[in-house]
Amino acid sequence: MSTVDRSKLPPGPKSKFPLGHLFSYRRDSIGFLKKIAKEYGDIVHFKIGPIRIVLLNHPDYIKEVLTVQHRNFVKGRPLEMAKELLGEGLLTSEGDFHKRHSRMIQPAFHRNMIESYVPAMIKCISQMMGKWQDGMKTDMKDEMTDMSIAIAGKTLFNADITKEAPEISKALDTATSLFGRISLPFSEWLLKLPLPGNLRFYKAKQRLDNIVSRMINECRKNKMDNGDLVSLLLRTQDENGSGGLSDEEIRDEAITLFLTAFDTTSTALTWTWYLLSQNPEAEAELHKELDHVLNGRLPVVEDIPNLKYSRMVLGESMRLYPPSYVIPRQAVEDFAIDKYIVPRGSIVLMSPYLGHHDPRFYSEPEKFNPYTWDKHSHGLDSKYEYFPFSRGPRSCIGEPFAWMLETLAIASVAQSWKIKHVPDHPVELLPLINLRPKYGMMMTLHRRK
């Protein structure tokens, strides 16, 4: 067993309490991380109960963990509780198991496959807008969630689940409320107790499992390859026999991609509408592009290369409000970073939110300016200061899907509607799995003349 040389531990805040900085972190996780980074620098050590945590807040250090030394890190304890909901899917699995599944699923996210989903995406977006009325007030978080659920159901399962979207959304909110407990010491054992919150979680989980299992069974009965994810997984199972995925593995991958697809998408789009409503000059620039490229019609796949400003709007929105606001890893062995030693078993936190708001890399980090993001287009010239989908070998497999869907949604909606934030509606951050608006996002819909 290795011993820790305490003289080589990174600096950080001390705590007089047995649970360390648990309550400060749970009360305001982003505020706490910002505070300690400002006080102690880019490598900070703190504890939550018995858990040793190290915050890395510089692109070079983040690259070291996500890419250079990625084999020394696993997703580890922070996602152990996520397995209760998602099973052994791409988000939670490790090692050879993850590599095998990634190879099988990757074809569903090739460019040609993603482009084939565009008609289904546009249809779901159109159905949503068909229910809107001029002057109508609505919660855009709910609108974006229902739309994203419908799109995920159609593209991943070839299933129409539009009517079930509100029920799925409610079940997801109940299930993800569990993740507020991830920072609690011994939280994995607390989950086994018959507490009211646990009972609500397992009831919601069962509902989500039932919906996903039904969609998988319908795909199996139809015996048609519709180009969706589940058809691909079932075909792999049939062709490879014992070498394919088991029914349980298909379930785990399906529910992982289904839930992460619509939750991340709906969150990113909700913040985008809010930011556009607060920045009329950027909104006017967006409308100018859409009037020129689309001229009143819905977009098709051939329009995507010409929707450059629309994509920049999305990129800048995810800079200011990255859905995945913190990325955790767990060190398998001791590792050196700068002049410090981080002990094995430590949780390493990297925060896109902190990096995206860092004045060292963005001259006006709090200002919404789509042209700022364009300087970091695709991250080709960046030093990991922009990483909303993570980076390296374990970056999000659905990133191309998300960029295409969200760009199309912005273009389709903004060409016909101006969406204004209801002035007295509070806007606060709710960091759960994703960085959601705490009170939803009440907005007024105005049809463009």
CA–CA dist 128, 408 (Å, integer): 14
Which residue do the tokens 């860092």 mark? 358
Q: What pLDDT, on a 0 to 100 scale, did the predictor assign at position 281?
A: 97
Closest CA to 114 of 359, 406, 427, 322: 406
Long-range contacts of 23-32 (CB under 8 A, 24+ apart): 25/183, 26/180, 26/183, 26/184, 29/183, 29/326, 29/431, 30/325, 30/351, 30/353, 30/354, 30/429, 30/431
Largest CA distance in the chain: 70
Q: Alpha carbon of 121 to those of 43, 110, 227, 306, 415: distances in Å?
A: 42, 16, 14, 18, 16
Q: Which two tokens stand for residue 356?
A: 């995206």
Query: Cα 378 from chain centroid?
Result: 17
Q: What pLDDT, on a 0 to 100 scale, did the predictor assign at position 88?
A: 82
Q: What's the whole-model pTM score? A: 0.90
The CATH label, of 3.90.480.10, 1.10.630.10, 3.30.460.80, 3.90.1150.10, for the domain at 6-447 is 1.10.630.10
pLDDT tens per residue, the chain (449 residues)? 345 555 588 999 998 788 888 888 888 999 999 999 999 999 999 998 888 999 999 999 999 999 999 999 998 766 666 777 777 877 778 888 888 888 877 877 888 888 999 999 999 999 999 999 999 999 999 999 999 989 988 888 888 888 888 888 888 777 776 665 555 555 665 666 676 777 888 888 888 888 888 888 888 777 666 667 788 777 766 555 555 677 788 888 888 877 777 789 999 999 999 999 999 999 999 999 999 999 999 999 999 999 999 999 999 999 999 999 999 999 999 999 999 999 999 999 999 999 999 999 898 999 999 998 766 544 445 578 999 999 998 888 889 999 999 999 999 999 999 999 999 999 999 987 789 999 999 999 999 98
Q: Please provide residue 359's backbone torsions phi and psi, each rounded to the nearest 5 degrees.
A: -65, -15
Q: What pLDDT, on a 0 to 100 scale, did the predictor assign at position 409?
A: 97
CA–CA dist 55, 41 (Å, integer): 9
Q: What pLDDT, on a 0 to 100 scale, did the predictor assign at position 2?
A: 45
Phi-psi region of 367 (alpha: psi -120 to 50; beta: other; left: phi over 0): beta
Q: Which two tokens stand for residue 132?
A: 């809107």
CA–CA dist 377, 431 (Å, integer): 26
**H helices then E strands: how many in the chain?**
18, 12
Query: Cα 422 from chain centroid?
Result: 26
